[in-house]
Amino acid sequence: MTAMAKRIYLSPPWFGAHEQDLVSRAFASGYVAPCGPMVDTFDRRLGELSHQNAAAVSSGTAALDLLMAELGVGPRTTVVASSLTFVATVGPAVHRGAKTVFVDCDPATGTISIPLLDKALSEVRRPAVVTAADLYGQCCDYGALEEVCARHGVPLVLDAAESVGASWRGRPSGQAGVAAIYSFNGNKIITTSGGGAVLSRDPELVARARWRAQQAREPVVWYEHREVGYNYRMSNLLAAVGCAQLDRLPEIIRRKRSIFGFYRNLFGQSHVAAMPFPCADPDGSTCWLSVFLFPSETLRDRIAEKLSAADIECRPVWKPLHMQPAFSASRTYGGEVAEDFFRRGLCLPSGAGLTRVSLERIARAFLA
């Protein structure tokens, strides 16, 4: 690596003049704080993307918190959740005092195991909600998830933070359960620098989420509150970035899939395997992150050290929530599959802005 080479990050945002142009328009409109025409446009376009109703908010975590409030999650309830995911999937429920039960992932897809979820819902006392997480750009089996949750009479909330723009058998990411959330954090497939959205086929649910996100203010001239809400609305400036990113989404997905193909070709016929993708819908993933499983933890760590020495960022697969110290008392169904993915899996640089020169540098680091 030359002294002038820049660090290659895992998943930096990809943006340019178009985003700057729309932010300039937002400034010119006079709407800088939350609400404004760009927020309205972003809401509409997210609804078109997901084929449902949408309300942009300040983060994916805020979106989940609004849905936990909607479903009455609290100290006397239990949330049954994916284990192989980021902590924010259950964070809002935990802050509300709910108990957590974790479910292992399916070895064929990496998303929540439907048979183990069925078993958990048969045995867990007072399950208030299931929170299932899409993973690294691929969707859960939405149909099977909805069927098992409906059979047990438990509402499904989908954490689609990692799957914006993906699909499952023709259904767009986030179109499942009573509601879903998106995330637009800086490392996600599209970004608003920070942000998220509440999505649902129920327009009244989304309207209530939007109202609560704006401090639950009643529609009168003075400040009237029958309920205490939250300061969770997205700003007009960030929504402008989001609108520009949506314009680029097809190209971002094309580039992400191309990067995944680069790694697959690089590993060739070796024993390094792509993180499982849904066999029934292999083209539905956006490949938000390119994730590969190595034959052993030792080899995975050796590759990570090579990349680190070349100033190339990589990261292990999510540490399962049931392995986190914060959840040591939580019940878990299964766990071995997620633990194996954590031991052997590595997330590789997947930014849509990766150049040919950067990919060649990554390849050299692997072969060093």
Residues 75 and 161 in one domain: yes
- How are strands ordered across the β-sheet holding 156-159? 53-57, 196-200, 179-183, 156-159, 127-133, 78-82, 99-103, 331-333
Residues 124 and 267 in one domain: no
Domain annotation covers residue 123? yes
User: What is residue 281's predicted lDDT score, i.e. its pLDDT?
Assistant: 59
Question: Does the pLDDT at position 75 exceed 50?
Answer: yes
Domain annotation covers residue 1? no
Helix ranges, the chain (H): 17-29, 37-50, 60-70, 91-95, 114-123, 142-152, 203-213, 236-267, 297-309, 336-344, 356-367
- Give the global pTM: 0.94
Structural domain span for residue 322? 249-367
CATH number for the domain that contains residue 295:
3.90.1150.10
* Long-range contact set of residues 68-76: C-beta below 8 Å, sequence gap at least 24: 68/92, 68/93, 68/96, 68/98, 68/129, 69/96, 69/212, 70/179, 70/205, 70/208, 70/209, 71/128, 71/129, 71/155, 71/157, 71/178, 72/128, 73/98, 73/128, 73/129, 74/98, 76/126
Question: Does the pLDDT at position 297 exceed 90?
Answer: yes
Residues 251-282: tens digit of each pLDDT: 999 999 999 999 999 998 788 988 876 554 56
Domain annotation covers residue 10? no
Contacts (Cβ under 8 Å, ≥6 apart) of 295: 271, 272, 344
Could you tell me whether strands 315-316 and 345-348 are parallel, antiparallel, or unpaired per DSSP bridges? antiparallel
Residues 239 and 253 in one domain: no
For range 193-201, the mean pLDDT: 96
Domain annotation covers residue 259? yes
Question: Does the pLDDT at position 1 exceed 50?
Answer: no
Taking residue 51's Cβ as centre, other Cβ atoms within 10 Å add up to 12
Contacts (Cβ under 8 Å, ≥6 apart) of 157: 64, 67, 71, 129, 130, 131, 132, 177, 178, 179, 180, 181
Separation of alpha carbons 107 and 139, rounded Å: 14
Residues 74 and 184 in one domain: yes
Residues 176 and 233 in one domain: yes
CATH number for the domain that contains residue 121:
3.40.640.10
Domain final residue pick, 214, 245, 276: 245
- The answer to whether 118 touches 44, Cβ cutoff 8 Å, is no
Residues 23-44: tens digit of each pLDDT: 999 999 888 877 889 999 999 9
For range 160-187, the mean pLDDT: 96
Q: How confident is the model at residue 132 (pLDDT cuts 50, 70, 90)?
A: very high
Domain annotation covers residue 5? no
Domain annotation covers residue 121? yes
Separation of alpha carbons 198 and 214, rounded Å: 13
Residues 216 and 194 in one domain: yes
Residues 176 and 41 in one domain: yes
Question: In the chain, how many domains are there?
Answer: 2
CA atoms lying within 13 Å on the CB side of residue 189: 31
Domain final residue pick, 245, 260, 285: 245
Residues 47 and 157 in one domain: yes
For range 200-215, the mean pLDDT: 96
Residues 129 and 219 in one domain: yes
For range 114-141, the mean pLDDT: 95
The CA R_g of the chain, rounded to the nearest whole Å, is 21
Residues 265 and 130 in one domain: no
Give the range among 81-90, 186-195, 263-272, 287-296 with minimum mean pLDDT.
Answer: 263-272
DSSP readout, 136-180?
A: TTB---HHHHHHHHHHHT--EEEE-TT-TT-EETTEETT-SSSEE
Question: Does the pLDDT at position 2 exceed 60?
Answer: no
Domain annotation covers residue 120? yes
Domain annotation covers residue 286? yes
Domain final residue pick, 184, 217, 245: 245
Residues 70 and 35 in one domain: yes
- The answer to whether 284 touches 139, Cβ cutoff 8 Å, is yes
Residues 68 and 184 in one domain: yes
User: What is residue 99's predicted lDDT score, i.e. its pLDDT?
Assistant: 97
